[in-house]
Amino acid sequence: MRTRIRILAILGSWALLVGSVLGDDTADRTVAFGDYLFRQGDYYRAITEYERFLFLASDDPRRNPVRLKIGAAYYRGEKWEAAGRQFQELRAKAGNTESGRQAGLYLSAIALRQKDYGRALNYMEEFIAAHPADPRRDAVMTELILTHLRRQEAADAGRLLEAEIKAGETGVKVTAADLDEWRDRSQKSPRLAGALSAVLPGAGQGYVGRWSDATLAFVVNGVFIWGTVAAFDRDEDVAGSFLLAMEATWYFGNIYNAVNGAQKVNRATDERFFDTVKIRYGLTFPPDGGDNLIPVVGVSGTF
């Protein structure tokens, strides 16, 4: 009887050992396949494999890094709400670990992609305050300064840069020359564009360099005015009233078009500045956390 019990105990232990080894191997293969799918841009299936790993390996120390990869897959697929929920939960659970820090940086990146610059600033300021010795601190500060520029807060950006220089922080990429370039960039006044088009239809579009729109606005307004005057001269009041209404619509639309054109030109000028700075210094955000799956702002994909 004792011999039989010993044999059963040995067999049971052996089964547990084999099951553990096979389980670990299955978990490793699952993560590896998820990484492969991620690199192929098949983010939905990658998430499925990562979720499978979380189910199989309930006590594996890689759970938080894998959760980070799930959030990164949502981020790559531009599923901002799902990615945000994943990173918020991970930051709360992982705390001061690498996964928790990277989750906080991703939340900043999501806010930047959504042009919610105030929220992005809050996340970045929290990161710098909580992790002043983090090797990515200078990269985050660089993006923080650029985000103030995106909010048209050149004075705040200048104060931050000056404080960094005084503190001896030399890792920030943006320079005083870059801020001067920003201040000196060519900008069009939307108010002036609208006023010019109010005085002379098409003049505002010409001011912002959109000459085809300027020609069209001038010609169409001229035709409507000529037609309106001609109709009233012939006592065709109904036709004249109709043409006058059409002219008023086109006239105010012409003013709106001029204002909108100035704003578009300014946005394009600003984006060229940021693109130039990023290329000049090789900037990426969020900064690489050592995982080559981590995406950067500007990279997108679809599910």
- In this predicted model, what pLDDT tens digit does every residue of 162-217 receive, in sequence order? 999 998 877 899 999 999 999 999 999 999 988 988 888 888 888 888 888 888 87
Convert the pLDDT of each residue in 108-119 to its tens digit.
999 999 999 999
Q: Which of 170, 163, 123 is nearest to 143 (CA)?
A: 123
Give 246 or 164, the one with higher predicted confidence. 164
Residues 124, 81 share a domain: no
Domain contains 297: no
Residues 134, 94 share a domain: no
Residues 132, 92 share a domain: no
pLDDT for residue 252: 85
| Average pLDDT for 61-70 | 93
Find the domain containing 89 and state its range: 27-114
Convert the pLDDT of each residue in 3-31 to its tens digit.
555 544 444 444 343 344 434 578 888 88
Residues 259, 208 share a domain: yes
CATH of the domain at 64: 1.25.40.10
Residues 170, 195 share a domain: no
Domain contains 254: yes
Domain contains 131: yes
Domain contains 296: no
Residues 138, 87 share a domain: no
> Of 154, 184, 214, which one is at a domain's C-terminal end?
184
pTM of the predicted model, to two decimals? 0.78
Residues 129, 152 share a domain: yes
Number of domains in the chain: 3
Domain contains 299: no
Domain contains 12: no
Residues 198, 162 share a domain: no
Convert the pLDDT of each residue in 251-282 to its tens digit.
788 889 889 989 999 999 999 999 999 999 99
> Of 64, 82, 114, which one is at a domain's C-terminal end?
114
> Of 90, 114, 138, which one is at a domain's C-terminal end?
114
Residues 93, 164 share a domain: no
Q: What is the 3-state secondary structure (H, E, C) of the chain?
A: CHHHHHHHHHHHHHHHHHHHHHHHHHHHHHHHHHHHHHHCCCHHHHHHHHHHHHHHCCCCCCHHHHHHHHHHHHHHCCCHHHHHHHHHHHHHHHCCCHHHHHHHHHHHHHHHHCCCHHHHHHHHHHHHHHCCCCCCHHHHHHHHHHHHHHCCCHHHHHHHHHHHHHCCCCCCCCCHHHHHHHHCCCCCCHHHHHHHHHHCCCHHHHHCCCHHHHHHHHHHHHHHHHHHHHHHHCCCHHHHHHHHHHHHHHHHHHHHHHHHHHHHHHHHHHHHHHHHHHHHHCCCCCCCCCCCCCCCCCCCCCC
Residues 260, 204 share a domain: yes
Domain contains 293: no
From the number of C-beta atoms within 10 Å of its C-beta (0-12, 13-18, 19+), residue 40 rates as exposed
